[in-house]
Amino acid sequence: MDPEAARESLDLAFHMSNILDTGLDRHILSLLIALCDLGVNPEALAAVVKELRREKPSSSSVSSPKPAVPSSVS
């Protein structure tokens, strides 16, 4: 598929995604389409996306690593 046709297809898929209120951004949608093009089962892929959304951790439960600070500075 030529780049122009690919972009138009992605634009159409993104428009449909917005109408269906999927919450997928253009980048994620393009990755999902690429996986389908590689032969990944679309229904299985949808199930994985749904599961990942259910398991999404809340921001309060995610801790960022703190840099090591020496106890004494000479």
| Full-model pTM | 0.68
Domain that holds residue 38: 3-54
Residue 33 lies in a domain: yes
CA 19-23-25 angle, to 5 degrees, is 100
Residue 72 lies in a domain: no
Quick: pLDDT tens for 6-50: 899 999 999 999 999 999 999 999 999 999 999 999 999 999 999
At 58, the amino acid letter reads S
Residue 62 lies in a domain: no
Residue 67 lies in a domain: no
Residue 4 pLDDT level (bands cut at 50, 70, 90):
very high
> Given phi > 0 = left and psi -120 to 50 = alpha, else beta, which region is 69?
beta
Structure tokens at 44: 């299985």
